[in-house]
A and B are shown apart, each in its own frame.
Chain A
Amino acid sequence: MSIPTFTGLQTALSGLQASQAAIDTTGENISNANTPGYTRQVVNTGENAPMTISAVNQQGAGTQLGTGVDIASISRMRDQFLDIQYRAQNTSTSNANTNATQLQQVQTAVNEPSTNGLQSQLSAFWSSWSSLANDPTSQAAQEAVINAGQTLAQTFNSVSSQMSTVQSQAGQQYATLTGATGQVQQDASQIATLNGQIAAATSAGQTPNTLLDQRDQLLDDLSGLAQVSVTNQSNGSVTVNFGDAATPLINGTTVTWPQTLTSAAGGQLGALLNLSSSSGPIGQDVSSLDNVASEVISSVNALQPSNPFFSGTSASTIAVSATASTIQTSSSSTSGADLAQSVANLSGGSADQSYAAFVAQIGNGVQAAQSTQSTAQSLLTAIGNQRQSVSGVSLDEEMTNLIQYQQAYQASARVMNTINTVLNSLINTAGSGL
Chain B
Amino acid sequence: MSVRSAAQLRAVGAIGEQAAAPGSDVVARRRQQARRRQLNVLGLRLLLAVAILGGWELGSRSGVIDKFFWSLPSDIGATLWRWVTEGTELGPLWDQVLTTLEETVGGFIVGSVLGVTFGVLLGRNRLLSDVLSPYIKAANAIPRVVVGALFAISLGLDIKSKIATAAVLVFFVVFFNAFQGVREVDRNLVANARILGADNRRLTTEIIIPSALSWIVASLHTSFGLALVGAVVGELFGATAGVGELIYSAKNNFDAAGVFAGMALLAAMALVAEALITALENRLIRWRPPVATETRI
A complexed with B: no
- A contact set with B: CB distance below 8 Å: none
- B contact set with A: CB distance below 8 Å: none
